Structure formats: C-alpha cells, structure tokens
Amino acid sequence: MSIDDFYKTIAYACLYKATKGRQADDIKAEEITISMFRERYPRELFQDIRTFGMVVELYQDGIYYIKGKVPFRTQIIVTNQLNQQKHESLRVLSQKLIEEDARNFLKKMEVLTEPGGRELIDSVLHVSVAANQEVYEKVKGGTIMYETIKNLFKEEYEEIKAQTVKEAEELKAQKMKEAEELKAQIIKEAEEEAKRIKEAACLFRDGK
C-alpha cells in the first residue's frame, strides 16, 4: 500500500459522503470510519503519512490511528500484529488466515443472534472467505461449520440455483423448438418427395 492508495481510499470515502445522502451533509463526517488492512507493518507508508503532516498513533496491538489532516476517523490495521483473543473478527480479514482463527470465528458466529451484530459479522465473513477459500474448504469439514458457511451464502446459492434452472429451462425450450422445426422440415420434405413421386408416376402412366 502506497501513499497514493491511502489518499485514494480517503477519496472513495469522500465520494460516498457526497453522493449517498438524501440531502446536504446527510451523512456526517463523524459517522464514517476508514479501515485499511495490511498483512505486515507498512513502514514506508507510515513514514510518508508523517511527512504529509499526519500522526500515526498505536491504539492497540496491530491497530494504528491516523490523526491530523484526515477528514474522517482513519485506522490502519496490521493483521499479523493483532491479538488472537481480542481481535478475532479482524484477524480473519488477513489473506494468510490460519485454520484455528477461522474455526474460532465460526464458533463465535454460531452464538451471535443480534441482527446488527450478525449483519456485521456476516459482512466480515464474506470478505474473509473470498480471500481464504482454501482455508474455509478445510474448516467446513465439520457439520456445524459447514452449515454456518452454507447458511451465510444461502442467498447467493439460491440465486445461482434459480439462474441455473432458468438457463436449463431456456435451453430445453430451445432444443424442443429446434426439434419441432426439424420435424416440420422432415415432414415437409417427405410430403414434397411423395408429391414428386406421385407426379412422376402419373407422367409414366400417361406416357405409357
């Protein structure tokens, strides 16, 4: 991640604030938090941030607040520095997720029932699975784990299933149409051939 990536992310947040509200300042700047994730400590990026007059403040293990010339609350999270017990939901966002963290996170999901918290955790898992498919393929070997992941992606599964059924039905209808057209063509050609034979027979008889 470079300093340009840093500013690009802030620009996206500014665009979100400016375009997603129903009226001017509908989305407050203090309601927005920017979180950027890095696998390792971004030493060069932090140096550039300080050069541009901002402050890098260590909040907790692996969590760094960027303060000063930034329009929104901004934090950079270094996943390999996060505490395993305190930051399970953040550790699973690593692109080098370990199976133990994945299992612990899924177990935590199973007992979470509050709608708001559940939606947040589901969003985290979507990102985590996308970045660590092989790990989750191993983890979902257990029945409960498998059901958790399957339920999470139930909507996507149903959409894919519906699309597959639709495409199959369209293909079937197309094949049936082609078969009917072929049948009609064969019948037409057979009738024309029979007509030619009949005409030839009449000519032969008359000539005879």
pLDDT of residue 124: 76
**Calpha distance 66→56 (Å, rounded):** 5
Is the predicted pLDDT of residue 78 greater than 70, yes or no? yes
Mean pLDDT of the chain: 81
DSSP three-state, residue 33? strand
Is the predicted pLDDT of residue 205 greater than 70, yes or no? no
pLDDT of residue 49: 95
Which tokens in the block code for residue 56?
Answer: 């890098």
pLDDT of residue 45: 95
Are 148 and 109 contacting, i.e. CB atoms less than 8 angstroms apart? yes
**One-letter amino acid for residue 143 of the chain:** T
Are 136 and 127 contacting, i.e. CB atoms less than 8 angstroms apart? no
Average pLDDT over residues 109-114: 64
pLDDT of residue 145: 54
The pLDDT tens digits for 35-66 are 998 889 999 999 999 999 999 999 988 999 99
pLDDT of residue 4: 95
The pLDDT tens digits for 155-196 are 666 777 788 888 888 888 888 888 888 888 888 887 887 777
Check residues 5 and 122 and name the one with the higher pLDDT: 5
Whole-model pTM: value is 0.58
Least confident of 16-25, 84-93, 94-103, 169-178: 84-93
**Calpha distance 102→92 (Å, rounded):** 6
Report the 10 Å Cβ neighbour count for 103.
16
Check residues 141 and 79 and name the one with the higher pLDDT: 79
Average pLDDT over residues 104-121: 67
pLDDT of residue 111: 66
